[in-house]
Amino acid sequence: LAGTATLNNSTVSGNTSGPNGGGIYNDGMLNLYNTIFANSPSGGDCYNNATVSG
């Protein structure tokens, strides 16, 4: 993600990637409300290199 995204009432689960951001790789503005990141077997659930709010 390189911009702005908002996740409301969401689940991000069971995703894979390289070493960073199995669920999401954030390089922008990420707004999270009632959101779960879980069970990403590689890369971690959330990689953040910018701003997260919520």
What is the tens place of the pLDDT at every residue in 14-49?
Answer: 887 777 767 788 889 999 999 998 887 776 777 888
- Whether 3 contacts 14, CB under 8 Å: no
Instruction: Flag whether the pTM goes above 0.85.
Output: no
Neighbour-count burial of 29, counting CB atoms closer than 10 A to its CB (0-12 exposed, 13-18 middle, 19+ buried): middle
Angstrom CA distances, 54 to 14, 15, 32, stand at 22, 22, 5
Question: What pLDDT was estimated at residue 3?
Answer: 85
